[in-house]
Amino acid sequence: MKQLIEQFSNQLVEAIRIGRGTKLSFATKDFNQVMVSGLGGSGIGGSIVQEYVFDKLKIPFTVNKDYFIPASINATSLFIACSYSGNTEETLQAVGAAQKAKAQIVCITSGGALADFARKHKLNLIEIPAGMPPRSCLGYSLVQLLFVLKKAGLLKTAVEAEIQSAIDRIQKDKGLIKRQAKTLADKLADKQIAIYTIAGREGLAIRFRQQLNENSKVLSWHNVIPEMTHNEIVGWRKSNDNVAVVFCYHTDDFPKNIKRLQVLKKVVKQYNANAHEIIIKGSNYWEKAFYFIHFTDWVSVYLADINQQDSMEVKVIDHLKKEMAKK
């Protein structure tokens, strides 16, 4: 896993090349909505892109993490099925329903049944490199989502320039990122981890949580300001030495939410001395997002080492898939 994380900036470079070289065909570009369907490491890119396009698209952008699709999907819907393996059963059922609803479909995968389905029905297909854990290939799949939106005529921003600045910054700060990630991981050893962030960055918090779950093998949860300051904040009433808290934010986040976070920190620190923060770095959305993803990926594998866990092993998920495959 460390070797895969080490190659993250190179993965982004390759993802841009794949995106540039992909040709897509649509029966219409007069879309009424965009839906990304995917789960786990294949689906989290949709959640992060959803926050990016929140103030950019004039039509709804939603993320589906289930077997089913809404009744609103039709011939003017852009439906993006994302499954790294190509064999995610929820995504396969969902894309089948979208095809029956005559949606405009793009499939992003490394192969498997999803690629076969796309070829059979002559759907748009973007193939990304195979043979890695889905969670280690977020750069490939997420960047393709952005290229799909651009080629569908829905996104006008200069995302390639933002991604390139993220690549440059990650490469420049490579040693610093590792050192700071190791320092934070040391403080999270043998703890359950609460991740608190600010609205507009929930996708990043979910990604961090998922990496802690799969790589570090620890229980973790996340919540978002301002919503959590209307409920979860009240749960901080007694000390719990089994929990560590990580506050994640950028200094240019909405000032009222920053103020809420500062109040929350004071409340939490009354009961928990194991509270830390990640101040997100970067000058544009994708520089911030990819820097944070890369940094927290390193946190998760260093924490796996500290907790004496194999960051590649996901036997319980493999077991679940075998059980689900039984008739």
Residues with catalytic roles: 214, 230, 321
Phi, psi of 141 (to 5 degrees): -70, -40
- Helix spans in 285-327 (H): 285-306, 315-325
Report CA-CA distances (Å) from 101 to 70, 86, 111, 131: 10, 21, 23, 32
Is the separation of the CB atoms in 271 and 236 below 8 Å?
yes
Structure tokens at 113: 């049944």
**Angstrom distance (rounded) from CA 296 to CA 196:** 14
Report CA-CA distances (Å) from 319 to 27, 83, 211: 41, 19, 19
Is the separation of the CB atoms in 51 and 58 below 8 Å?
no
314-319 contacts at long range (C-beta below 8 A, 24 or more positions apart): 314/133, 314/214, 317/214
First to last CA, the chain: 33
- How many beta carbons lie within 10 A of that of residue 168, not counting itself? 12
137: Cβ contacts below 8 Å, ≥ 6 apart:
11, 41, 84, 110, 128, 129
**Angstrom distance (rounded) from CA 238 to CA 254:** 30
